[in-house]
A and B are shown apart, each in its own frame.
Chain A
Amino acid sequence: MPSDTTAAVGSAADLLAALPPSPAVWCSGLRKQYGRRTAVDDVSFTVQRGEVLGLLGPNGAGKTSVIKMLLGLVRPDAGEVMLLGRPARDPLARTGVGYLPELFRYQPWLTAAEVLALHVRLARVRVPAAEQRDCLTLVGLAERADDRVGEFSKGMQQRLGLAVALVARPELVVLDEPTSALDPIGRVDVRDLVLSLKARGVTVLLNSHLIGEVERVCDQVLILDGGRVAASGTLDELLGQQEVRLHLGGVDARAEARLRAGGPLSRSGDWFTVAVPADDAGTTVPQLVRDLVGLGVSVHAVEPGRISLEERLLGILRREPGDGRS
């Protein structure tokens, strides 16, 4: 009997191990009401392990509330959250989570190194002192490790917050407006940091107003407006096709047919716009230009165009004005 049991347990363990890893974040039907104002309404999304999700939306869209509900800081009125495969009701679900809050403030009477040591203890992870120092070096605070946090500028406190989020070897890092107090160099540092996390397979949830940053580093984007999900998907899905604008002379029927073969066509005087599929490998446009020249068309200008995330975001938000926006 015992050997049977062992075998059964072993095969169950094999089965479990063969399953794909649970998502880093899974939430369903999140809702939160503050008095009569609905801050978050029926928000559901999933972030797979190793993905970088950008959270976008105007002020008061409910981004920070969603983040706080994921981390158990705010109790949702409805909905469920799973973090790294555990229900978020269980505090242990946050063992592998690093968090930089939007309102970052650390014990002013501790030194930077002491703040990191405190968070390592709270996270119940063994991280050698040297590795903790490396974390401070990574955010540019190596020289200030033994200074009290009370003497730090806002920007330095935010850098310390980044180190706190990274120090306990997280599998999921939640960054809520990580660059709000940083100078342009600091912003580039944060971008590089997110990219290096992504390269190491760490999942990142990034809430930022800097759409350009989100566009550069994120795989997935979730746009919130008035507490609801206004749009979500990969960047390619959200931004749709690319387009190319051509200024042409001497276009005849054959040339127009060739243009149409490249993708949906629109014309305004001598300017032709061809929508190119998003999954284009980069050969469509050069081939098109070569063929047009071959057909005797004079090509004055070729302008590649892509709808930016900013345009897309503004388009979405203007089309669906939020109810709860202040």
Chain B
Amino acid sequence: MTALTVAALTLREASRRRVLWALVVLTAALLALSAWGFSRLAGLETSQGTLTSGEARLVASQLLNLVMFGMSLIAALGTAFLAGPTLAGEIESGMALAVLARPVRRSAVLLGKWLGLVAFGCGFVAVAGLAQFLVVRATVGYWPPSPLSGLALLAAQTVVLLTLALLLSSVVSTMASGIVAVGLFGATWVAGVVGGVGEALGNDGVARVGTVSRILLPTDGLWRGAMHAFQDPTALSQFGFQNSGFPFLSEAPLTVAYLVWAGVWVAMVWGLTAFSFRLRDI
């Protein structure tokens, strides 16, 4: 009951704050830019002549992944900067005092905030992602092989990041939590790229950098799974892109074990947040 009340409050906050408008403007800009770019792709003249349809599909795959990365970045920034103020900001400003003096459990308040943010983040990913697919389909006629599981993984990535941002905001200040969460997100992505290069070069040590970072923070792993769901498998194998280390193509789908680990990771970080929030003097 408390959790649902707080979740509704969090959604209302998100809809009434400027964050939502910032997200809408950024997403619209990204969609417009990508529509323009994809429309130029069809019938593109290159130094080797016009792109064949297979080549066009491969390029579309890559570009879609690139644009979806932009989208996931917007989702990450948006939710991380919403999650930060929600705990730390309310404690600092005193807004939490009147709420927590009500007959509510702190864990229920936290669950409500988390649910509200999850609904917001997933809603954003679903709407913006679907809009992007439609743009690509209208411009180059490409439709990703498994759009739903791809969007679900992208949403899962957002959930991982906002859970981390909530944990950080229960221990450090508002701005710091947003910045650290987004910084870690970027660092994991870079580590994933480094790992990919290691794999391409057959250097196990370098490849391990990606693996370890993907386990410590599952955002990059989930992102790679999402990419795999968005790209055209036939085009990929046709052009022999296996093990190339290219950051906007993914060679393998996610394993069930990894998905389970991502779930366990979210539960663990949530539990830590609840623990630190329970002990905190307001």
Given contacts A99-B98, A122-B5, contact A105 B93 (CB under 8 A): yes
Tell me whether A29 is interfacial, beta carbon within 8 Å: no
B192 → A minimal CB distance (Å): 37
| Stretch of B12-20, B176-184, B204-212, B248-256 that contacts chain A | B12-20
| Stretch of B29-37, B102-110, B234-242 that contacts chain A | B102-110
A-side contacts of B100, CB under 8 Å? 72-73
Query: B103 touching A101 by the CB < 8 A rule?
Result: no
Q: How far is the CA of A104 from the CA of B95 in the complex (A)?
A: 7
Q: How far is the CA of A312 from the CA of B17 in the complex (A)?
A: 51
Q: How far is the CA of A119 from the CA of B102 in the complex (A)?
A: 8
Tell me whether B99 is interfacial, beta carbon within 8 Å: yes
* Chain A contacts with B in 98-112, Cβ cutoff 8 A: 99-101, 103-107, 109-110
A94 → B minimal CB distance (Å): 5
Q: A73's contact among B5, B13, B97, by CB below 8 Å, is which?
A: B97
Query: B101 touching A73 by the CB < 8 A rule?
Result: yes
Chain A 77-102, CB-CB to B under 8 Å as 1, else 0, gives 00000000000000111110101110
Query: B5 touching A121 by the CB < 8 A rule?
Result: yes
Number of A-B contacts (CB under 8 A): 71
Number of interface residues of B (CB under 8 A): 23
Query: B101 touching A71 by the CB < 8 A rule?
Result: yes
Query: B281 touching A93 by the CB < 8 A rule?
Result: no
Query: A68 touching B5 by the CB < 8 A rule?
Result: no
Q: How far is the CA of A110 from the CA of B282 in the complex (A)?
A: 22
Query: A75 touching B279 by the CB < 8 A rule?
Result: yes
Number of interface residues of A (CB under 8 A): 31
A-side contacts of B257, CB under 8 Å? none
A-side contacts of B98, CB under 8 Å? 99-101, 104, 106, 119, 161, 164
Chain B 98-134, CB-CB to A under 8 Å as 1, else 0, gives 1111111100000000000000000000000000000
Tell me whether B2 is interfacial, beta carbon within 8 Å: yes
B121 → A minimal CB distance (Å): 19
Q: Name A176's closest neighbour in chain B (CB-CB).
A: B97
Q: How far is the CA of A107 from the CA of B14 in the complex (A)?
A: 12
Q: A99's contact among B13, B101, B105, by CB below 8 Å, is which?
A: B101
**Which residues of A pack against B, CB within 8 Å?**
68, 71-75, 91-95, 97, 99-101, 103-107, 109-110, 118-119, 121-124, 161, 164, 174
Known: A122-B5, A123-B102. 7 other contacts (CB 8 A): A73-B281, A73-B282, A100-B98, A105-B95, A107-B95, A118-B5, A119-B102
**Which residues of B pack against A, CB within 8 Å?**
1-2, 5, 9, 12-13, 16-17, 93-95, 97-105, 279, 281-282
User: 22 interchain pairs (CB within 8 A)?
Assistant: A73-B281, A73-B282, A74-B282, A75-B281, A91-B103, A91-B104, A94-B103, A95-B103, A101-B98, A103-B97, A105-B94, A106-B95, A109-B12, A109-B16, A118-B9, A119-B99, A122-B2, A122-B99, A122-B102, A122-B103, A123-B102, A124-B1
